[in-house]
Chains A and B, each alone.
Chain A
């Protein structure tokens, strides 16, 4: 009983995977009875809507729709093949509509079982252009335009059969890639036949030309659509001189490339790219064997040998091609002994990553991190290194080579399998993406329709989008993880006797390798490795899995040796604590931060070594904490200590931890120079606040007082007042006090003095953290004046004595800690002084300039370079700050925005008020940021502050690295510094000196 045709319900259509339900129902109705039989094969296609629409169109286009209808109803396999093609590739659907009779190609049972051999495809293609496949040098016999078109149609016909196999019969991705390469080889042969016809038989006969495939085609692992990389080699035919042969071969090669690349009415095939030839695009298109050899002997670079790994003759003169491959093989397998080989290879990869447009990077299949290129790179690198002595691992195909490397023990079995799976997945995904439009792309689309189609074509029929994304993410992560391991793991095997089928490396090779990676003392590095990984303890086992990736991070930093040595010391003091190694192993980011910190910054390394537990902090958020949170913690922590000095140490321990947080944040690029300044200021506020309370308590206890006789406050001055502290800065302050009513002024003053001294003592006493120097030299009368004054005394002093430079210093006064009311009164007292309503007088302006001129001259330390001194040099901090301060003193009375202790804020306000041109403001802002960031970087790298750009190369490289320059760019950093400060000085000349 035949089923009664009835329209499928909406639910059924949805279940089958249709999106456009109304259209689908109409079209299914057009199919009549066939619709029922076709439901299931339609549901299996990547895009049922597209497949159905294609089928309906095709039925209209063919001469004999009944036969087609009958065949697909009768033969389920034919239906699957046809619908898979129609639903998986828009480009091939269009091809079928233009050549509807070709549907019969898919009505062929052998497709399910038989791969078309290379010779067969070559024959089909060569015949298509009217050439004799048996001839030694086939020549196209049909007219040129017709031949070019015929080649395209035939190529598509063969491709159609291959795609049907791929989509409907689950052929492995490696087989598909190999068949595509065979198809390309045949196409090149046919194109050569057309080229021969173009240049004429006589010319063509004067040179023997071989086409060598490189890259993916050479490796027998081509994509659906990509450039086919080739190199041409020729020899003069017997009795021809070389010049003539060269001309003939060049013409042949150029024509061959054109035949393949040209876009004609019949479409295009793929571009042929000969850029991998010696000298690249600048070199001659064809060369003789001897000329190739000469080049590879003398000039070739490492990457060229890496490319030659895949050289394979595919068309033209086979004997010559074979000679070429035999000639290059020794070069390829000697490449790994070249100087700086590994560094070259890594630099290449870095360049590839850098040139990726940022928007694409995350959706790139090929070049992004964890992409196909990572697998290929890793495999090729291992091949070049180990293939030198081991002929077993020289296969040109990535997957075969990976298999061989695994068999031979250079790659662990699990790693090998994981990489294999990831590579297969990524390639399949790439194939399906390219197949749709037959367009060359390696970017995963981000629209839902495409993702749904791709997901379905890879077997995720339910929830295709999420399924696909998840699988992709998984493989990408695995590749990234393994890629790092593959490079560095062999180093460990040189020192640790790792059991099992792992890679082997002699200690001598390991030393070479470490040196090539940038370790200045590889022998010591190897000793550290040995010390950390020896033995069978759990610690050693974890270190063994941790170190390969740590070694890479160290190698990317300015001082790898210091990094490894520091890591060993910290590991030795923490190795047995339960959390340390687990933290590093489980939280990849912590290990990376630790590596970066240890191999870059002495300052942070010192902090860590004094208190190794600080490593824990690296797992935290690195945003600097606010002052209130810090103050509360310090107070609580101090309150738990019975003894005063221990309480002070507790406060300072919190400070040490926070210094590490801020330093690490700046080192990993999470915290910029302004945030660092604000963070350090908040930290200093909290520290001074908590310590001030502590000091008052101590003095009250000593003197047996219940109540303090006076109220105390601390005014921040200088860079501290400007919220612009850097790591090594002293805290510039002024102490102010105000006796409570009825207190004896003398006793109050003595009390205040004692508290200030006690505070300074607590913060300066030796401990495991960097002391905080409290500097009160900016107070009235400087060092000669009393350390602490009353508010009235300050007022009296400023009213009577003060010179313009003291008001200038007050510009950066900022109410830091202590009695809030007193702070407010102090600020109210100084505001009219520092922001005079009418601005300062001409005399005062002249005086400021005169002082600056003298300071420039006298304060610069002997031997310092006036161009690069950070503080007093040309366009340095003093230049910028004095310029800003002069503007403030002249105009802050009128422009409220200028009343700020912070340099950049004042600059912005001056810009807004029209006191500074936009470009001047930008120049000063940029210079201030650059110089401040450089100053911080210097302290971080050297471990102690300095106002000179470092003299030694290693320190300078470190500073450049902290500032974000790539290795080898340290003199560029200096150049940039000089440029920025020169431009700033130009502004200072005009604005400050007037």
Chain B
């Protein structure tokens, strides 16, 4: 037994932990949890906890349902929301097959594999997400329009608002779980909040996002309100995105930084962006995986729907933020398509995979988009060579189906399952008769 495992076992003893929740993520990005008593944990470290993989969305081919969850002791945390007294802890797990080989169905392994492919080239991948979400007064109910907790707007300070109370408590909890929060404020829509997580390596960030979504929901419930990461809950208000800043490091040097280059952006950085743009349509199915995601992308404002990049251009899909002098280490690019309802492991893997492709094949970065892309007309965009992103989940699936990059990044199993699942979602969606149709047509037809 290694030191980290010992550390966990000691902590269980000292903190009077009664339950340990073992967390992992299914292919769609839903958190799964199995609770074990502390006494079982020692065994879990050495042999894993067996479970029936075929019962988890997208995990197993039916006949090989036996899988093992191996807790990763470096992710050990006490869960802060269980109140005083005996506490509960959680750890993320890696999924392995009974012979100890890592499972290709495990989204965490998908990301780990992509990260280690990049590491072989000498790169580590860092991400920094800005997560937006809405707070509603009540739990969802399918007939009524949800009511936001306030009517404020961007950066508004609201006296004794639900929002700021909520953010304070959520942030306290996140910090208690070792997740550093950089920034938080009220966003543009009524009841819409944004909380930014601190820069970290992509695997930790993905773990953190999974934790974050849970913490935010828990805190909301404890205050009698409802939190949602649905990408676009209102037609008229802005959607919730998860703008993500990404960068590559070579050792302790930021590989995107080059003093004196345009925007201080190195060749590596430019090729990375070129990779993301070239494969933008293919990876959209992962960064924006729901039918509803596309309503945000088409909604304008902060959400991009064209494949282009710009320096400080908020309408571009990839934004190169303003360079702050002497901050070479913080050179990064911001991806604005991704939304908070994605599976962060798969989405990060896809982004990194696309970017690395750009570096490996030495893609040329296209011209920068200097104008507000929304305000251009179709012809102007055409002449500038700016292509649109997929407009619906269906288009995204079609592009993903002919992608060579995605099966390489995701592995055959996840790739196939994911597409099958998304096709089913689309098929189900397109037969629905919507409120829009009724309100338009019932009166006149």
Contact = CB atoms under 8 A, between A and B. Distances in A.
Contact of B99 (A281, A863, A954): A954
B412 A978 contact: yes
20 contacts: A281-B251, A297-B3, A298-B4, A299-B3, A299-B4, A300-B3, A865-B61, A865-B62, A867-B416, A868-B61, A951-B63, A954-B99, A960-B101, A968-B102, A969-B101, A972-B104, A978-B416, A979-B407, A982-B407, A982-B416
Contacts of B63: 863, 865, 948, 951
B154 interface: no
B378 interface: no
A920 B20 CA distance: 52
Contacts of A134: none
B101 A979 contact: no
Interface string A322-350: 00000000000000001100000000000
Interface of A: 281-282, 297-300, 338-339, 863, 865, 867-868, 948, 951-954, 956-957, 960, 968-972, 974-975, 978-979, 982
A971 B3 contact: no
Contact of A951 (B64, B407, B413): B64
A339 B101 contact: no
Nearest to B201: A282
A974 B252 CA distance: 36
A25 to B, nearest CB: 55
B301 interface: no
Interface in B352-372: none
A339 B47 CA distance: 12
B412 A338 contact: no
A516 to B, nearest CB: 12
Contacts of A957: 99, 101
B444 interface: no
Per DSSP, are chain A's interface residues mostly helix, strand or loop, or mixed?
helix
Contact of A975 (B62, B99, B124, B411): B411
B321 to A, nearest CB: 24
B61 A968 contact: no
Contact of A971 (B1, B4, B101, B252): B101
A974 B407 contact: no
A971 B2 contact: no
A982 B99 contact: no
B329 interface: no
B97 A970 contact: yes
Contacts of B413: 974-975, 978
A339 B411 contact: no
Interface string B405-416: 001000111001
Contact of A968 (B46, B101, B251): B101
B252 A282 contact: yes
Given A339-B1, A982-B407, 19 more contacts: A299-B3, A300-B3, A338-B1, A338-B2, A867-B416, A948-B63, A952-B98, A953-B98, A953-B99, A954-B99, A957-B99, A960-B101, A968-B100, A970-B101, A971-B102, A971-B103, A972-B101, A974-B104, A979-B407
B99 A867 contact: no
A187 B46 CA distance: 47
Nearest to B66: A953
B7 interface: yes
B404 to A, nearest CB: 9
Interface residues of B, number: 28
B412 A975 contact: yes
Contacts, number: 70
Contacts of A865: 61-63
A869 to B, nearest CB: 11
A282 B411 CA distance: 29
Contact of A339 (B2, B62, B64): B2
Contacts of A338: 1-2
A971 B413 CA distance: 10
B42 to A, nearest CB: 11
A813 to B, nearest CB: 37
A281 B252 contact: yes
Interface in B412-435: 412-413, 416
A982 B412 contact: yes
Interface in B72-131: 97-104, 124
Instruction: Give 8 nearest A-B pairs by CB, closest first.
Output: A978-B412, A953-B98, A953-B99, A957-B99, A970-B101, A968-B101, A971-B104, A971-B101
A436 B274 CA distance: 48
Contacts of A971: 97, 101-104
A836 to B, nearest CB: 36
A282 B251 contact: yes
Interface in B1-51: 1-5, 7, 46
A968 B7 CA distance: 27
Contacts of B103: 971
A978 B251 CA distance: 35
A960 B104 CA distance: 15
B328 to A, nearest CB: 17
Contacts of A948: 63
Contacts of A974: 104, 412-413
B249 to A, nearest CB: 9
A960 B102 CA distance: 14
B61 to A, nearest CB: 5
Nearest to B63: A951
Contacts of B102: 968, 971
A970 B124 CA distance: 26
A972 B101 CA distance: 8
B7 A298 contact: yes
A282 B101 CA distance: 28
A978 B103 CA distance: 14
B97 A953 contact: yes
Contacts of A339: 1-2, 5, 46
A972 B105 CA distance: 11
Contacts of B5: 339
A968 to B, nearest CB: 5
Contacts of A953: 66, 97-99
A951 B4 CA distance: 33
B108 to A, nearest CB: 14
A963 B274 CA distance: 38
B402 to A, nearest CB: 9
Nearest to A974: B104
A975 B98 CA distance: 16
A300 B411 CA distance: 31
A840 to B, nearest CB: 32
B80 to A, nearest CB: 22
Nearest to A518: B100
Contacts of A282: 124, 251-252
Nearest to B411: A975
Nearest to B249: A282
A888 B202 CA distance: 52
Quick one: which of B3, B7, B61 has the most chain A CB within 10 A?
Answer: B3
A953 B101 CA distance: 9
Contacts of A979: 407, 412
A975 B251 CA distance: 31
Nearest to B64: A951
A972 B99 CA distance: 13
B58 to A, nearest CB: 14
A230 to B, nearest CB: 18
Interface in B176-228: none
A972 B64 CA distance: 15
A951 B97 CA distance: 11
A920 to B, nearest CB: 15
A948 B101 CA distance: 19
B273 to A, nearest CB: 25
A953 B252 CA distance: 40
Nearest to B4: A298
A299 B74 CA distance: 9
A987 to B, nearest CB: 14
Contacts of B3: 297-300
B335 to A, nearest CB: 24
Nearest to B252: A282
Nearest to B105: A971
Nearest to B124: A282
